[in-house]
Chains A and B, each alone.
Chain A
């Protein structure tokens, strides 16, 4: 048995648990700058390329932030569900990210607005001419329109947000309440509800992936799609937690709490989820490629033409092979700076993944037009949009974190987590 001295849990008001002042100070500039950058990105794409590309870039940015947020939500739920001990020191980071689902719900409004115009700007099914222009079978389209129509879509979106906000706020409130009271019963209560919460989460995530991303190609369908989006989401959530912990430690917070063991474990999970992501992505591709049925191959076909083939291959190489090799070694996983680098790298690759999911649909409707979404200006505008939105989210996150703690300071498992060692 190891004979390390038992870790000392600092008092709850220790400055190591506060968000570093240098970060709090960034809150307002990040919010303002982010908002301006986001709108500028959208405007550039909207007016200089096309309305469709503008809205698609906005949706890509939104889905990127959303996957990070709900990935963190899932992280929190699953830690409670399995009564995890190791993760307590970093769980608050995920809890802070997951409450960003509230401002994200507001950022969904522009998507609703574009839907209300009924011109198919973003979702092609929203265009009443769609089925006629694409020579669809009237019966088939009538049945699909029963699901894909403005109001029913909006209603479902409201349900998803309601469930996520409910879960995020409940678990966040419970955790912060424990910061004050230190009651174990809070942990018991959160653990009790984590099971049903995970069920609700998996149902809503699957359906939201179908509605918000898959329906961009109205006739395409893949039962795996929800899992695919989830795989990217959970991977990037772990990356975000890892990178945040590293940056917070750099700025002086939670230096004694998060140890190399936690980076090691997060690194293992990142490695595992990289593998999980390629497993899901490859299975989905293989089945559609092998079956070779026209209504299914359409989606991958659009991603193999007009320059998208390079993005597709790049995803395999840079979203899987490179990080897979990079994260394989224990040497890497036990070096916080290196593992934080890979976390940042994978967060960028996750945007490429989201971009690849959403943007090809921005021009797939007009097969012979120039690939508007791959022009440098469209790419630059999309990047501005996502950087802006992430900035905005970070700004709000710092604001929330400033009024809270960055570690669940009185969690009964904090000491266990601090003493955690990889076997």
Chain B
């Protein structure tokens, strides 16, 4: 039943022909249950309480800023002619990008049978949903009269007598992000039902039992249920995989269908998707590495998991770098005056600092992951991932602001400057994100217990057939 794998084992080394263990230590199925459930069942730690209080305060500040914005109007932002898409859109694209890793881990890695995903997919999916919530807030308040945002929906209105404009990429965005949010939520919830049943069956408290009982829908672990459940899971994964690609593709269409120099380029769809995965994985690691050590999940989220994710960051970071290069090359090769100018302006214009911050953080810093030492040392990973997050925020800033601030009409050129509300909202959205994430840690199973047990079962099965135990 149990499988003694030393805790200190370096499972990042895998001999060809054998598979490295993904669950470490003398772990049993019950140990997995205990490890994961204690996170939600024991009293909250001091660190959690402090973290939550800070996040919650920042969230309140975010709410205040939104109310102030609604009262005063969008003039409180730094958005001025010609930069009408300032920080709100930068933040939107940033958060949507962060929201890509969860579904990617759950869906695409599932389809590619990457078993190491099982211990990180739950948290990553939760992160996806919270990031989409943050992302959705920004265009919602950016429409100006936020209380009329429902006009975007194609509903038969007796007041308007008209329909939304489906030839506009901004409306595609509404459909893409809301579909993505919905499907991610379904996927997350569906994956959580068996684990919620575990919570239900372990709860001593009547109210807890009732709440988790309702949420777990009466899950009994029946094989017939499992069979349909797995089919549904595979199907949802098959839908979520192209969906996750389509969302950032459509976000890139917001920019690329226009004729603004620096925006109108055909590589935007795959380049945005690569960037989204890149930033999403960086955010997952930024959150999971502290969580792993604070919540005692080292046996389930091993160094190998981090090593693999760093490799994905390296790959997508290099892809993003290739896309930057391609854009520059084609801007020169195409010899369109405005396009050439847009790219020179990015690198050497008034926003050169943003551009070179982006290149340093996004292209250069992940190259450190070629070195194995950096891929396997948690604090270095966190450091590089924070750089990547900063870089990806700057990427969206560079794309949005440099192109708008200097487009075809030189007389309209202006330098964009954010206001304190812009800053507050960026920080405030992090408050919302962390508040939701910390609540999730306390209330929901943070690791997919059922799938991790299945991975352990496979590990045991392989060990048995190799005759190493028995």
Contact = CB atoms under 8 A, between A and B. Distances in A.
Decide if A and B touch, CB cutoff 8 A: yes
Interface of A: 1, 6, 82-83, 85-86, 140, 143-144, 147, 184, 187-188, 191, 195, 198-199, 202-203, 206, 210, 221-227, 268, 272, 275, 279-280, 283-284, 286-288, 290-291, 293, 295, 411-413, 415-416, 423
Can you list the 4 inter-chain pairs with the closest CB atoms, starting with the nearest?
A412-B17, A223-B267, A224-B266, A187-B16
Given A221-B333, A295-B334, A226 B326 contact: yes
Contact of B259 (A279, A291, A411): A291
Interface string B312-331: 00110011001100110110
B245 A293 contact: no
A223 B465 contact: no
Contact of B16 (A82, A188, A195, A293): A188
Given A1-B457, A275-B242, A287 B257 contact: yes
Contact of A413 (B17, B257, B267): B17
A195 B371 CA distance: 12
Chain A at the B interface: SS class: helix
A268 B112 CA distance: 10
Nearest to A140: B335
B264 interface: yes
Contact of B257 (A227, A275, A280, A291): A291
B16 A287 contact: no
9 contacts: A1-B457, A1-B458, A221-B333, A224-B269, A272-B111, A283-B270, A286-B253, A412-B18, A416-B19
Contacts of A290: 169, 257
Interface string B13-43: 0111111000000000000000000000000
B336 interface: yes
B370 to A, nearest CB: 7
B116 to A, nearest CB: 11
A206 B253 contact: no
B258 interface: yes
Contacts of A224: 266-267, 269-270
Given A6-B465, A412-B17, A423-B113, A223 B266 contact: yes
A83 B111 CA distance: 16
Contacts of B315: 198
A288 B266 contact: yes
A287 B333 contact: no
A227 B265 CA distance: 13
B253, B256, B318, B457, most chain A CB atoms within 10 A: B256
Contact of A222 (B266, B335, B461): B266
A279 B270 CA distance: 9
Nearest to A295: B336
B270 A291 contact: no
B362 interface: no
B302 interface: no
Given A224-B266, A412-B16, A144 B333 contact: yes
Given A224-B270, A291-B257, 16 more contacts: A1-B461, A83-B14, A83-B16, A86-B113, A187-B16, A221-B330, A221-B333, A223-B267, A223-B323, A223-B330, A224-B267, A227-B267, A287-B264, A291-B264, A412-B15, A412-B16
A416 B270 contact: no
Nearest to B17: A412
B268 interface: yes
Chain B at the A interface: SS class: helix
B112, B311, B334, most chain A CB atoms within 10 A: B334
Nearest to B167: A290
A52 B322 CA distance: 34
B448 interface: no
A309 B326 CA distance: 29
Contacts of A191: 16
B435 interface: no
A333 to B, nearest CB: 13
B111 to A, nearest CB: 8
A203 B324 CA distance: 12
B169, B327, B329, most chain A CB atoms within 10 A: B329
Contacts of B314: 195
B399 to A, nearest CB: 14
A129 to B, nearest CB: 19
Contact of A280 (B14, B270, B326, B333): B270
B263 to A, nearest CB: 9
Nearest to B271: A223
B118 interface: no
Contacts of A279: 242, 245, 249, 269
A2 B298 CA distance: 30
Interface in B51-90: none
A185 to B, nearest CB: 9
A195, A225, A283, A413, most chain B CB atoms within 10 A: A283
A223 B113 contact: no
B259, B266, B270, most chain A CB atoms within 10 A: B266
A415 B465 CA distance: 13
Contact of B327 (A187, A195, A223, A272): A223
A287 B268 contact: yes
B253 A287 contact: yes
Interface string B230-271: 000000000000100100010001001111000011111110
B334 A210 contact: no
Contacts of B335: 140, 143-144
Given A203-B322, A275-B242, A415 B17 contact: yes
A188 B358 CA distance: 34
B17 A184 contact: yes
A283 B245 CA distance: 12
Given A279-B245, A416-B17, A147 B333 contact: yes
Contacts of A210: 329-330, 333
A301 B370 CA distance: 44
Contacts of A411: 16
Nearest to A222: B266
B270 A286 contact: no
B466 to A, nearest CB: 10
Nearest to B464: A1
Contacts of B323: 223
Contact of A287 (B14, B266, B319, B336): B266
A147, A198, A223, most chain B CB atoms within 10 A: A223
Contacts of A86: 113
B17 A223 contact: no
B203 to A, nearest CB: 31
Nearest to B465: A6
A413 B332 CA distance: 46
A85 B16 CA distance: 9
Contacts of A202: 319, 322
Contacts of A223: 265-268, 323, 326-327, 330
A286 B333 CA distance: 22
A283 B249 contact: yes
B253, B265, B267, B336, most chain A CB atoms within 10 A: B267
A198 to B, nearest CB: 8
Given A143-B335, A195-B370, A206 B330 contact: no
A85 B18 CA distance: 9
Contacts of A187: 16-17
A41 B326 CA distance: 36
Nearest to B311: A195
B258 A291 contact: yes
Contacts of B257: 286-287, 290-291
